[in-house]
Structure 1
Amino acid sequence: MKRIYPDKEFCIGCCLCEMACLAAHSKENDLILAYNKERAEGLVSRKRVIENCDVYVAISCRHCEDPECVPVCISGALTKDEVTGVTVYEADKCVGCWSCIMACPYGTIQRDKYNSKIIKCDLCAGRENGPACVEACPNRALKYEER
């Protein structure tokens, strides 16, 4: 299965991946509207750039082969698609218990503070060019590939 792999050696901390994620998940698919309007209404990037001692890395759900978040999900909102390998999230089933946040060893699942649910990467499901964050990265610090 193809996954997004970050490379901290090439990440410059520009956060363009976060902006691309916002635009890709916005109603209008427009960065300006997503950033200025929809963010205030609760739109959050599923990608986060973190920094430690001038080293940057962009993180998001790794769609683990054996995800630790799935068995702790009490409502069945998180499942593993056995065909695609994607860890699928169904927001309408989420009860906001945060068990998945605590179980994720990579710290990539976030709280949706506006809806008392979670936010996680969906690999830009249905997007023709694949994940928007990978396409937007100017330094090719994100790779979408099978390993």
Structure 2
Amino acid sequence: MTQMALVIDLNVCVGCHACVTSCKEWNTSGEAGSLADMRPYDDDPSGTFFNRVQTYEAGVFPMTDTIHFPKSCLHCEDPPCVPVCPTGASYKRKSDGIVLVDYDKCIGCKYCAWACPYGARELDEGRKEMTKCTLCADRIYNEALPERDRKPACVLACPTSARLFGDIHDPDSEVSRAIRERGGYALMPEWDTKPSNHYLPRVKAESSCGCGNGAGCGNAAAPDDATLQAQLERGEVNLAALAAHR
């Protein structure tokens, strides 16, 4: 069975939000209909987005790191949002495994949002219907588009190629090879929903350790906080090397 999905490389995502804006543009003008932006410039803005990028700070100063984490519907192989829908509006397509919403059947009851452990469902305040990522199902099979453009809008817009798209059940596909060779993982597997989307883990650089000897010094371990503080006070730390260390 085919299972289309995204594989996101956290090592090269720079948090530029190109995927967010391209997703918003395509789906607002596509089959999903107009996606509401309520009070976009007020104190309490609210908008409907299929894809969001969350940014976190990790580590302890000065060894901190910024992590950009794109998140959308994971198109689970066993989606909990489908069986709870009282009208059958939420369904998983057999042909490609994409989880979709039939807007003609949706009554906006939010059951699917409560069932989803990933917070991937959003109520469109204008239409009063539940919405979510469709993997651009109205684009990837559109023969009016050049074949190179038959990918989700977010994939095409990513300037660092952090987003891959394909069939994770095909062992020879680009996404399957990336998952296999780079230790791709699913989000929150303990929920047993079998998310189709996967993430490629960040790889920490080991070329510099922040010890003040410059990049490529070969030391595997960074100095502890006390040693680093003493080096900072004596002006012995190469700040460029320290910034490069993760």
Where on the TM-score scale, by shorter chain, does this alignment land: which range?
A: 0.7 to 0.9
Q: Secondary structure at the match of 2:82?
A: helix
Partner of residue 18, structure 2: 16
Structure 1's unaligned 5+ residue stretches are: 29-33
Residue 6 of structure 1: how far off its partner (Å): 2.1
8 Å contact 1:20–1:133 — kept in the other structure? Answer: yes
Distance 1:105 1:26 in 2: 25
Distance 1:7 1:106 in 2: 19
Q: How many residues align?
A: 139
Distance 2:118 2:9 in 1: 15
Identity of aligned residues (%): 36
1:59 maps to a residue whose letter is: K
> Aligned pair 1:94/2:106, yes or no?
yes
Distance 2:23 2:115 in 1: 24
Residue 15 of structure 1: how far off its partner (Å): 0.5
| Match among 138, 142, 146 for residue 159 of structure 2 | 138
Post-superposition Cα deviations, 1:44-91, rounded to whole Å, max 9, x if no partner, equal: 331111122231111111111111110111111101112221112111
Q: Secondary structure at the match of 2:165?
A: strand
- Per the normalisation by structure 1, the TM-score is 0.83
2:155 maps to a residue whose letter is: V
Residue 20 of structure 1: how far off its partner (Å): 0.7
Partner of residue 5, structure 2: 3
8 Å contact 2:48–2:123 — kept in the other structure? Answer: no
* Higher relative contact order structure (alpha carbons within 8 Å, sequence separation ≥ 6): 1
Partner of residue 79, structure 1: 91
Q: Secondary structure at the match of 1:93?
A: coil
Distance 2:14 2:122 in 1: 23
Structure 2's unaligned 5+ residue stretches are: 40-45, 58-65, 143-149, 169-175, 177-246
Partner of residue 200, structure 2: none
Alignment CA distance shift 1:76-1:121 (3 Å)? same
Q: Secondary structure at the match of 1:72?
A: coil
Distance 1:56 1:95 in 2: 34
**Larger Rg computed on CA atoms:** 2
1:10 maps to a residue whose letter is: V
| Match among 110, 127, 142 for residue 115 of structure 1 | 127
8 Å contact 1:26–1:43 — kept in the other structure? Answer: no
8 Å contact 1:7–1:57 — kept in the other structure? Answer: no
